[in-house]
Structure 1
Amino acid sequence: MKHLKSILVIIAFVLQTNNSQAQEKKLANSILWKVEHKDIEKPSYLLGTLHIMCEDDFIIKDKVKTILNTTDALVLEINMSDPEELKVMQESMAKSKKISEELSKEQIQKIDPLFKKTLGVSVEQFDDYGLSVAYSLMFAKMLPCSNLKYMEMELQKFAQKNNTPIKALEKVQEQMDVVSKALTPDFIYEQMLIFDAYKTDFNKAIQAYNQEDIIATKALIMKKEYTNENTEKYMVNARNKNWVDKIPKMMQENSNLFAFGTAHLSGENGVINLLKQKGFTVTAVYQ
């Protein structure tokens, strides 16, 4: 069960990292943003997350803990505390095509050394689990440590300790549908070929994130090398719009902490700008 939750978090990370790099207006250095509206009594908050990092680099900042202690609900991309959602994930994994059904023999030969290096098995040994699962698990191997922290899991633990309700912006099946549209076998294969380059950029992104520089973080994990024509459309823009359609109603019901990948915050089609277009005031929280 814990393994399934880890895969869900990593898939969420994959979804935010594959976006085109565009020029961004400079936003304040903050991972936490306050959202207010004249017709809504209580504010809510947006927290940009970096889904996975080494334990030594990981911290839930005091300002985030303060908000977790005062808001009515924690809203994640998906609700990993829901057994039914984990069941959907498990069923989806069971339906995965074999890697040998999605890639040519030549492609498999080229990525086989990466499988052995990162996952400790050959492509043939991992064949039944499918390419998307392999790609997700490889992300955990980008880090120079074995003690990993998954931010969404830690936020969930904090909320559960406080008996704070946990909600979601989307369903697991919705995420799986996005993966199937945007992450084609050939695209995943191409990303595996540049695994080492992405590994370098991601470890730089961790440092930028811990300095709360959300623009630099996004620029590092969203270079043009890590995208294709479908990823921005399906993985970021469409999801941001869907979330922003849901957030106002959720704010009317509760004061929430919305936590999702930090790359979703900024940009013309980012959650911050889309909420401003709907008449919300969105301001950085520094402490």
Structure 2
Amino acid sequence: MKNLFRSLFTFILFLVSAIGFAQNENSLLWKISGNGLTKPSYVFGTIHMICEPDYFFTDNFENALKNSEALVTEINFGNMEEMMLMQNAMQSDKSLKERISPKQYEKLAALLKEKLAMDIAMFDNVSESGIASLVTMKSFPCENMKMYEIELIQKAMASQKSLNGLESISEQMKIMEDHLNIDASIKMLEELGTGSDSNKQMVELYKEQNIDKLLDLLKQASYMDSKAYDEFVVNRNNNWVKKMPEMMQSKPTFFAVGAAHLGSEDGVLDLLRKVGYKVEAVK
């Protein structure tokens, strides 16, 4: 099961674009109460991939998960049909040369070799969004990595908590197909090792739990124009907040979503407040 999660999770790596709000405290964990809830639920901001030495999970995080009866992530990792759809979305029936222009192919091949010492042939039947995800994974400066969602799922399964998701993999696939094209991968490869390479800064800000400065850093992502921002972040936040109340009424729930979705006036925290919940940082 763990190996399956590790091989599939790269597909959703790009959903880590963290968008913060200047008035929020530095915290990744937030308690949700009031509005008829008999027990609190929690929302936790993840970074989908991090080098093992940088991984942390505090006692407060552990206790919040322990006191919850359900773990809800962006998609339901307990649904094997969804996992198979994710795996299939990483593949393409057509070779890469048939799908992109000769100029793009030449540029991508040169950058893969220069930046990652990788042969473009290994990407021949990988989808465009799959290539972008794999490039991101390979750009981290470490061999051993942790994925927060996988760690959380293992903890939840060990204590027999229910698993659920806020959206389907088909919904995620559509957004990624629209915005994570070959040009996005080329741009990221060009930025690797330069002042525009934001991986290191992103991890440090995440460790500081500073969702405000993550906004300033990651809203500058090359693929994050206004349309992509609306589709990756705003629309999904609104859809999730429509589903969360019923889940929280059913049982105390630990929601784990990309830190992208915590802050801003369109973020999950403010949207929950607008419909009557008390949302406060857990220090």
TM-score, normalization: structure 2?
0.91
Question: How big is the shift at 1:34?
Answer: 0.6
Question: How big is the shift at 1:271?
Answer: 0.5
Give RMSD over aligned pairs: 2.3
- Which range is displaced more, 252-261 or 85-94? 85-94
Residue-pair matches, total: 283
Distance 2:23 2:93 in 1: 41
Structure 2, unaligned stretches of length 5 or more?
none
Residue 114 of structure 1: SS of its match in structure 2? helix
Distance 2:73 2:46 in 1: 10
Classify 1:250/1:185 alpha carbon distance in 2 versus 1 (closer, same or farther; 3 Å).
Answer: same
Classify 1:103/1:75 alpha carbon distance in 2 versus 1 (closer, same or farther; 3 Å).
Answer: same
- Which range is displaced more, 61-70 or 109-118? 109-118
Residue 26 of structure 1 corresponds to: 23
1:108-149 superposed Cα distances (whole Å, 9 cap, x missing partner)? 211213323566542234211122212101111222210111
1:42-85 superposed Cα distances (whole Å, 9 cap, x missing partner)? 11111001111111111111111101111110111112232211
Residue 146 of structure 1 corresponds to: 143
Residues 34, 276 of structure 2: 8 Å contact kept:
yes
- How high is the sequence identity, in percent, across the aligned residues? 33
Letter in 1 for 2:10: I
Classify 1:147/1:187 alpha carbon distance in 2 versus 1 (closer, same or farther; 3 Å).
Answer: closer
Residues 182, 234 of structure 1: 8 Å contact kept:
no
Letter in 2 for 1:15: L
Mapping 1:87-236, distance limit 5 Å: 87-95=84-92, 97-117=94-114, 120-197=117-194, 200-223=197-220, 225-236=222-233
Question: How big is the shift at 1:277?
Answer: 1.0
Residue 71 of structure 2: SS of its match in structure 1? strand
Classify 1:284/1:97 alpha carbon distance in 2 versus 1 (closer, same or farther; 3 Å).
Answer: farther
Question: How big is the shift at 1:263?
Answer: 1.4
Classify 1:101/1:55 alpha carbon distance in 2 versus 1 (closer, same or farther; 3 Å).
Answer: same
Question: How big is the shift at 1:265?
Answer: 0.3
Letter in 1 for 2:11: I
Residue 260 of structure 1 corresponds to: 257
Residues 112, 189 of structure 2: 8 Å contact kept:
no
Residues 4, 89 of structure 1: 8 Å contact kept:
no
Residue 66 of structure 1 corresponds to: 63
Distance 2:48 2:196 in 1: 15
Distance 1:277 1:162 in 2: 33
1:224-249 superposed Cα distances (whole Å, 9 cap, x missing partner)? 54423431121111111110110111
Letter in 2 for 1:53: I
Question: How big is the shift at 1:180?
Answer: 1.7
Q: Work out which of the residue numbers 236, 239, 243 in structure 2 matches 1:246.
A: 243
Question: How big is the shift at 1:11?
Answer: 3.4
Structure 1, unaligned stretches of length 5 or more?
none
Whether 1:13 and 2:13 are equivalent positions in the alignment is yes
TM-score, normalization: structure 1?
0.89
